[in-house]
């Protein structure tokens, strides 16, 4: 949404009927009413509601897209409504859809991907969605704030900066849950009253990789006490993010590896580095990528764009492929190179730092490859796809966490003689509005 306008304080509650669940996981309704002294037909967005429910809501903010409103009362609940299993639901902003029965929730996620894709490619095969288990998320970014008597670690409330303390999360791994509980006392001794920080925690093979950001003024005596405390916990590595966006290493056991037993691979993520949210989600992506590559038996030389620290690269190197991997983040590429050398893959992978958003590989640079794997950020990679479309590379595999930018980019390939063969939807962000996909394109 764009810039919001606050509403008048005395605005009346509104009675609405929810029409459908929108792309952000909120209930959507329309009503002709007065908002900020202007009568119009407004679109309302209300979290924690379901289709066909009659609800009372309190409008809070508006912009050109519509009106945000808080749920006040459910006058007529949907028969599809269930009791959420997490005690923090409705307060924590991490989940939005625990109150929807599982069958309809999964159907909504599948439709979120299939409807826009089938509009541009009606013959594409949509595979059954693969969904991760509860308590399977192995990375999380928590908020922490020190008050006079205690320090709270948790997630922001929905549409709020207020932090909800998380006692029993339904989503994160149990080891992460225990860790944030054990972190409260050491953080309370480290922080000053009112300090608010970000706590990035990645669960690796041997423990927690911890990155803290937001601590600008530091008492090194207190910091040493904190490091001593966490060194006796499940933390295997600890960095502090500095103002210049670099990371200061404060503690390590040199055990910061992450294995994928299903594919017999190992990576070394950088501090706070990206890794797939769940191992089930990672495996679903890898299985789809490998299936796509296997459809062309002649594939030998692969170009991987936005490769990160090698989540896809390293398992692929178990096969007799040659891979050229491109990524902007130097630390991620460094981690990939370390893992490749450790696995004796060094002679079959070449890495290069490249700003693919502003300086995408040209069609001439791409034309030598048998296959291209592209895993861009949420904003997609329009300029890169324009060049891919001109390359005439036979197999294109696209991984995306944003169906809107995927459709925009996929349309470029479809209009350039590529066929979108099949799409694998993947849900590793349970009960949120996020859903991912792997798509296989073949040159006609």
Q: Please check whether residue 314 is in contact with residue 287, taking contact to mean a CB–CB distance below 8 angstroms.
A: no
Whether the per-residue pLDDT at 2 is higher than 80: the answer is no
∠ at Cα 26 (25, 27), nearest 5°? 125
Are residues 363 and 280 part of one domain? yes
Whether 272 maps to a domain, the answer reads yes
| Domain shared by 269 and 355, yes or no | yes
For residue 370, CA distances in Å to 154, 303, 330 come to 46, 8, 26
Distances (CA, A) of 53 to 20, 21, 342: 10, 11, 57
| 112 plus 56 within the same structural domain | no
| Domain closes at, from 252, 276, 309 | 252
At residue 441, does pLDDT exceed 80?
A: yes
Mean pLDDT over the full length of the chain: 95
Classify residue 96: in a domain, yes or no.
Answer: no
In the predicted model, what is the mean pLDDT of residues 17-39?
Answer: 95
Q: What is the CATH number of the domain that holds 312?
A: 3.40.50.150
Do 221 and 241 fall within a single domain? yes
74 falls in which pLDDT band (50, 70, 90)? very high
Task: Verify that 149 and 210 share a domain, yes or no.
Answer: yes
Domain membership of residue 89 (yes or no) is no
Other beta carbons less than 10 A from residue 353's beta carbon: 12
Verify that 358 and 301 share a domain, yes or no.
yes
pLDDT digits (tens, 9 = 90+) for 166-194: 999 999 999 999 999 999 999 999 999 99
Domain identity same for 110 and 221: no
Statement to judge: residues 149 and 281 lie in one domain: no
Q: Determine the pLDDT at residue 218.
A: 81
Q: What is the pLDDT of residues 33-66, one digit of tens each?
A: 998 888 999 999 999 999 999 999 999 999 989 9
Average confidence (pLDDT) over 311-323? 96
Last residue of a domain, one of 252, 286, 314: 252
Query: Strand, coil or helix: what is 282?
Result: helix
Query: pTM value?
Result: 0.94
What pLDDT, in 10s, does the model give residues 60-73?
999 989 999 999 99
Residues 121 and 210 in one domain: no
| CATH number assigned to the domain comprising residue 153 | 2.40.50.1070
How many domains does the structure of the chain reveal? 3
Quick one: what percent of the chain has pLDDT higher than 70?
A: 100
Q: How far apart are CA 331 and CA 200, in angstroms?
A: 17
In a domain, 90, yes or no: no
Interval 219-266: pLDDT, tens: 889 999 999 999 999 999 999 999 998 999 999 997 788 888 878 788
Residue 325 has pLDDT above 80, yes or no: yes
Which structural domain range is residue 316 located in? 104-131+258-443
User: Is 70 exceeded by the pLDDT of residue 1?
Assistant: no
Q: Which residues in 111-162 belong to E strands, given as ranges?
A: 125-126, 130-131, 139-146, 151-156
Query: What is the rounded distance in angstroms from the CA atom of residue 420 to the CA atom of residue 439?
Result: 7
Give the mean model confidence (pLDDT) for residues 366-390.
Answer: 98
Residues 329 and 195 grouped into a single domain: no
The stretch 293-302 carries a mean pLDDT of 95
Q: Is residue 86 part of a domain?
A: no
Domain assignment present for 273: yes
Per-residue pLDDT at 191: 95
- Which residue shows structure tokens 């922490």? 144
pLDDT, position 5: 87
Q: Minimum mean pLDDT among 344-348, 370-374, 400-404: which range?
A: 344-348
Q: Are residues 295 and 157 in the same domain?
A: no
pLDDT in tens, 111-144: 999 999 999 999 999 999 999 999 999 999 999 9
Distance of CA 300 to the CA centre of its chain: 30
pLDDT at 10 over 90: no
For residues 196 and 67, membership in a common domain is answered with no
Q: Is residue 92 included in any domain, yes or no?
A: no
pLDDT, residue 199, reads 97
104: confidence class by pLDDT, cuts 50, 70, 90: very high
pLDDT of residue 22: 97
Mean pLDDT computed over 325-352: 94
């Amino acid at each position: 949404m764009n810039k919001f306008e606050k509403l008048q304080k005395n605005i009346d509650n509104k009675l609405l009927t929810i029409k459908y669940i929108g792309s952000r996981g909120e209930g959507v309704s329309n009503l002709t009413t007065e908002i900020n002294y202007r009568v119009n037909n407004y679109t309302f967005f209300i979290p924690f509601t379901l289709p066909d429910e009659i609800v009372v809501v309190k409008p809070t903010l508006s912009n050109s897209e519509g009106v945000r409103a808080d749920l006040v009362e459910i006058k007529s609940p949907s028969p599809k409504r269930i009791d959420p299993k997490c005690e923090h639901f409705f307060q924590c902003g991490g989940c939005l859809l625990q109150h929807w029965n599982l069958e309809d929730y999964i159907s909504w996620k599948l439709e979120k991907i299939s409807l826009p894709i089938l509009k541009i490619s009606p013959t594409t095969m949509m595979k059954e969605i693969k969904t991760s288990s509860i308590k399977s998320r192995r990375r999380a970014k928590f908020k922490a704030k020190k008050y006079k008597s205690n320090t709270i670690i948790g997630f922001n409330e929905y549409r709020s900066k207020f932090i909800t303390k998380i006692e029993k999360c339904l989503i994160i791994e149990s080891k992460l849950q225990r860790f944030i509980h054990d972190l409260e006392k050491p953080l309370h001794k480290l922080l000053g009253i009112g300090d608010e920080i970000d706590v990035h925690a990645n669960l690796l093979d041997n423990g927690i990789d911890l990155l803290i950001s937001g601590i600008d003024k530091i008492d090194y005596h207190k910091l040493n006490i904190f490091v001593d405390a966490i060194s006796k916990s499940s933390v295997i590595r600890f960095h502090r993010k500095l103002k210049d966006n670099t990371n200061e290493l404060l503690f390590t056991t040199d055990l910061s590896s992450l294995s994928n037993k299903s594919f017999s691979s190992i990576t070394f993520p950088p501090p706070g580095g990206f890794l797939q949210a769940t191992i089930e989600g990672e495996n679903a992506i890898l299985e789809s990528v490998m299936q796509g590559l296997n459809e062309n038996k002649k594939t030998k030389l692969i170009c991987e764009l936005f490769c990160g620290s090698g989540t896809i690269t390293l398992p692929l190197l178990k096969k007799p492929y040659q891979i050229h991997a491109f990524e902007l983040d130097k630390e991620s590429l460094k981690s990939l190179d370390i893992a490749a050398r450790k696995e004796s893959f060094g002679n079959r992978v070449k890495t290069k730092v490249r700003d693919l958003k502003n300086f995408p590989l040209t069609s001439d640079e791409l034309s030598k490859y048998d296959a291209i794997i592209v895993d861009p950020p949420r904003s997609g990679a329009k300029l890169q796809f324009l060049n891919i479309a001109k390359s005439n590379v036979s197999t294109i595999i696209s991984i995306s966490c944003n169906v809107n930018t995927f459709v925009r980019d996929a349309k470029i390939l479809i209009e350039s003689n590529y066929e979108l063969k099949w799409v694998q939807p993947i849900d590793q962000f349970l009960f949120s509005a996020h859903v991912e996909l792997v798509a296989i394109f073949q040159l006609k």
